[in-house]
């Protein structure tokens, strides 16, 4: 009986990725990342190779990638700092904006040229990293969103993408 139950759980986890047990299966393996490079703004980031790239915007500012199950996403984009914002000013603005939308911010970190916000938006976890170019003229954003029940599976994705995000 115990053997049969184990087989059923393995079947649900591995062969049925949309089952409630799918949160127990790793989303990506360590080597399953590919480099996305943006030539317009000169930045790059590692994204899960299994994530599906969406149509590139006409202004070529970045790209969105959807998880194979359609429940998670990774977006990366850049824009010119036309309002001459500082990282601390933009951080305060983003926090106020997120709070006004009812988002719970559970983590915040900041340094000279970047900041990170993470939290819960309904049943989703979001992770946002914003990186300023050294001259302050360009702002780069990484945004990862995924169901809270898949938190363990997305830890590696967030870590790899966040650490690799850089201007070239």
Residue 100's pLDDT is: 97
Positive or negative torsion for Cα 13, 14, 19, 25: positive
pLDDT band of residue 28 (cuts 50, 70, 90) is low
As a whole number of angstroms, the distance between CA 83 and CA 156 comes to 34
Which residues are within 8 A (CB) of 23 and not within 5 positions of it... i.e. 6 or more apart?
Answer: 147, 149, 150, 151, 152, 153
The structure tokens 């830890």 sit at 155
Average pLDDT over residues 84-88: 97
Average pLDDT over residues 40-68: 97
| 23: pLDDT strictly greater than 80 | no
Q: Is the pLDDT of residue 21 over 50?
A: no
**pLDDT tens digit sequence for 124-164:** 999 999 999 999 999 999 999 999 999 999 999 999 999 99
Band of residue 7 on the pLDDT scale cut at 50, 70, 90: very low
């Amino acid at each position: 009986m115990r053997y049969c139950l184990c087989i059923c759980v393995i079947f649900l986890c591995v062969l049925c990725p949309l089952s409630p047990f799918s949160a127990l299966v790793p989303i990506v393996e360590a080597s399953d990342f590919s480099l996305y490079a943006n030539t317009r703004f000169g930045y790059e980031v590692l994204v899960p190779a299994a994530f599906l790239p969406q149509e590139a915007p006409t202004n070529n500012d970045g790209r969105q990638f959807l998880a194979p199950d359609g429940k998670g996403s990774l977006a990366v984009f850049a824009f010119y700092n036309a309002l001459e914002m500082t990282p601390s000013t933009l951080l305060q603005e983003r926090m106020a904006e997120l709070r006004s939308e009812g988002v719970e911010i559970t983590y915040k970190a900041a340094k000279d040229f970047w900041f990170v916000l993470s939290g819960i938006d309904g049943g989703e976890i979001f992770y946002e990293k914003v990186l300023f170019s050294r001259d302050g003229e360009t702002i780069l954003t990484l945004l990862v969103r995924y169901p809270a029940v898949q938190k363990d599976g997305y830890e590696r994705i967030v870590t790899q993408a966040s650490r690799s995000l850089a201007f070239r």
